[in-house]
Amino acid sequence: MTMYGTSIQIAHPESQYINGQWSPACGGSAYALTDPSTEEQLDGFAMGGVSDAEAAIIAARAAFDHGPWPTMDPRERGRLIGALTELLEARRGELEEAWTVQTGALPSMRSRAVNNGLGHLARAADQAAKFEFERRVVSAVGEAVIRREPVGVVTVISSWNGTLLQTASKIGPALAAGCCVIVKPARSTPMEAKIIAECADKVGFPPGVINVVLLASEGGDRLVTDARVDKVAFTGSTQVGRHIASTCGDRIARYSLELGGKSAGIVLDDADIFTVGKIMARTITALSGQLCATLSRVIVSQEKHDALVDAITQEMAVIRVGSAYDAATEMGPMALHKQLQSVERHVSRALEEGCTLAFGGARPKLPEKGYFFQPTLLTNVSEDSAIAQEEIFGPVLVVIKARDEEHAISIANNSAYGLHGSVFTNDKTRALEVARRIRTGSFAQNGMKLDFALPFGGYKQSGVGREGGEEALVGYLETKTILLDF
């Protein structure tokens, strides 16, 4: 048992969980995580390779093809998923702290994040018990049986900014459907997946139903390319998502992708500019801007532009940047040093291309250690510029002028992404009218609002498929039509 932080106990940080057993990573290399607030090294983890990927595929394939899980009474599957949820709830404190030590998430965000993750599992347990997996209908040629059957073996790949939420949103419906899963967390955030594996082991899932492996790139790629894997469920960058889609397309495998975003907040003229400024400043600095659905563009009329810039600047100026362990901190670090460097490059290029820096734009002088960047506001931004089109994944907000409401809607839709968006107005009817015209998977009135019990996903390059709601479960099912004699 290895202790991390003040409460996190990981029994097998160096091992893989395959076929119901813990075993050392094959040919793996030891490495350490880095706490982004302090740059402290968290030792003891090991990356596996292709051999571990192969073992996990064999285990999951055997569990699906020959084990009891796919044909088990769905209510019993639901009971086991519910038991897993309860054991994870008992380790809530560890899950919360793990998010902080790995990504710099503030304590104020942690409880809701764990609620969202465990909520996916709790709803999956309920769906397993209540969903109609088989129904009979009368057809023109005989009695018909419409069956929903599990898609098979599923590779689950999560990003580093929200491992629990992203993993639970996939394994919950996959297990409820009767699939067997291979979970591969990001290299920098394996703790939640390790805890899930420990809890699954205690629950007593049949061997091979849940496998958790920490893999280097070649091993991870095997989980995508291998024909014995029926579906890949991925959260991460659009670049990697494009590779997964292409690879799965070549072998006609199923896939779901939750990718990037460049979400816009449209400010209508009846909105209170001071309130909008506070909301936008606080939204772009939540988790240091490392949320795929964050509002990173704000579109406002030329008449209200200067007032909004002033309001956002005033709010950014009072946001305290610092360690996630300081109770006074309102924005923590970037999760990774390479992400900090990426944000710096994006801002530098924007300034070279003629954008105006209204606030921030650099690392703060304090704290001296950690991966910190100031809340940043850029103006004089063209809607077609790189800073307005590319996902920055940092606390960088751009303001874009619009001639009128029609122009604002056009600017909001001028994006390769389509994940989320918002309109600021006190008129619910106008908000709905605007929402119907924006090409995004979700949209909200007066700020970034998400309910993970509802379908979540993106249009365009923001992804394929949906997580949350019944739509998530259906994504792990195949439909079979059986025709019987009258």
Euclidean distance between CA atoms 421 and 446, whole angstroms:
10
Which are the contacts of 338, defined by CB distance < 8 A and separation ≥ 6?
none
For 147-202, the DSSP string reads EEEE--EEEEE--SS-HHHHHHHHHHHHHHHT-EEEEE--TT--HHHHHHHHHHHH
Which are the contacts of 385, defined by CB distance < 8 A and separation ≥ 6?
350, 353, 355
Q: Both ends of the chain: CA-CA distance in Å?
A: 62
Phi-psi region of 438 (alpha: psi -120 to 50; beta: other; left: phi over 0): beta
> For 410, which DSSP code?
H
Cβ distance 35 to 42 under 8 Å?
yes
Q: Name the packing angle between helices 107-130 and 163-177 (round to 10°).
A: 0
Catalytic: 315?
A: no
**Interior angle at CA 24, CA 81 and CA 28, nearest 5:** 115
Cβ distance 144 to 481 under 8 Å?
yes
**Torsion sign, CA atoms 359, 361, 362, 363:** positive
Tokens at residue 448, please? 């970034």
Residue of 14, 192, 198, 258 marked active site: 258
**Interior angle at CA 27, CA 11 and CA 235, nearest 5:** 65
Enzyme catalytic residues: 258
